[in-house]
């Protein structure tokens, strides 16, 4: 049976973007387990005795119900360069626990820190982050990411970025790229476009 995960930011006892994590879990449950009882993420987390100080990655594993909740201290990985890698990974509105396809893509990074994934000529994500690109005026994020991240959904809802199909050939029209996910805030990792390599 396939299992799914949510990776939730916990900082000093406060969970981030729970509403968006719950929405994504609901989408997954409706698709795979329409007869199952709804999962209450907030209650499950409250019952899990979360740490009250420090930065943690809370990993929730679930299928028709929540199977495991674990907390790991979080350290952000340094990312200063990206290598373009072509993939045919399925775009999903939820996160599978099995990351083998993304891990294989990451293994192709060579001497660079991370991969920038391209599918059918369009920019998508890195192996761990959604992306946004700056044209001097606005931030744009790919319309068809491989993972529809919770931070991405929140930023779009707040009007901080615009969804757009971005071709690999369009990179020259942008000056900077930002990487972000549930654990990494928008603006924490920003690279000049010149740090993206073929």
CB atoms within 10 A of CB 3: 12
Q: Are 59 and 92 part of one and the same domain? A: no
Give me the phi and psi of 94, to 5 degrees please. -145, 170
> How many domains does the structure of the chain reveal?
2
Among residues 20, 41, 73, which one ends one of the domains? 73
Q: Are residues 88 and 180 in the same domain?
A: yes
Whether 182 and 115 map to the same domain: the answer is yes
- Residue 30: which pLDDT band, with cuts at 50, 70 and 90? very high
How distant, in Å, are the alpha carbons of 14, 101, 171, 186 from that of 166? 35, 22, 8, 19
**How do residues 9-18 score in pLDDT, each as one tens digit?**
999 999 999 9
Mean pLDDT on 17-22: 98
Q: Tokens 């990494």 appear where?
A: 184
| 91 phi and psi angles, rounded to 5 deg | -85, 130
Domain boundary among 50, 73, 96: 73
Whether 20 and 62 map to the same domain: the answer is yes
Identify the CATH number of the domain in which residue 145 sits: 3.20.10.10
pLDDT band at 109 (very low <50, low <70, confident <90, very high): very high
CB 147 within 8 A of CB 87: no
CB 124, CB 91: distance < 8 Å? yes
Nearest 10 degrees: Cα torsion 73, 78, 83, 84: 50
Arithmetic mean of pLDDT, 93-117: 97
Q: What's the token pair of residue 39?
A: 């999962």
Same domain, 45 and 96: no
- The pLDDT tens digits for 42-79 are 999 999 999 999 999 999 999 999 999 999 999 999 99
Mean pLDDT over the full length of the chain: 97
What is the CATH number for 39?
A: 3.30.470.10
Q: What is the dihedral of CA 81, 85, 91, 96, to 10 degrees?
A: -70
My answer on whether 9 and 30 are in the same domain is yes
Residues 124 and 177 in one domain: yes
pLDDT > 70? residue 1: no
Task: Supply the pLDDT for residue 2.
Answer: 86
Q: What is the DSSP letter of 70?
A: E
Same domain, 187 and 134: yes
Range of the domain at 57: 4-73
Name the pTM for this structure: 0.95
């Amino acid at each position: 049976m396939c299992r799914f995960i949510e990776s939730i930011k916990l900082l000093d006892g406060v969970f981030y973007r729970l509403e968006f994590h719950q929405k994504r879990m609901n989408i997954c449950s409706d698709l795979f387990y329409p007869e199952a009882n709804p999962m209450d993420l907030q209650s499950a987390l409250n019952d899990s005795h979360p740490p009250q100080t420090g930065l943690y990655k809370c990993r929730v594993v679930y299928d028709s119900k929540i199977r495991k909740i674990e907390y790991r201290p979080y350290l952000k990985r340094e990312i200063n360069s990206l290598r373009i890698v072509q993939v045919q990974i399925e775009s999903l509105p939820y996160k599978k626990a099995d990351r083998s396809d993304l891990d294989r893509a990451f293994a192709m990074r060579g001497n660079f820190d991370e991969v920038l994934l391209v599918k059918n000529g369009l920019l998508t994500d890195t192996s761990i982050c959604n992306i946004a690109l700056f044209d001097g005026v606005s931030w744009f994020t790919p319309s068809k990411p491989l993972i529809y991240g919770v931070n991405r959904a929140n930023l779009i809802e707040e009007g901080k970025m615009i969804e757009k199909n971005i071709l690999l050939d369009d990179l020259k029209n942008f000056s900077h790229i930002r990487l972000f996910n549930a654990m990494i805030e928008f603006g924490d990792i920003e690279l000049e476009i010149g740090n993206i390599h073929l």
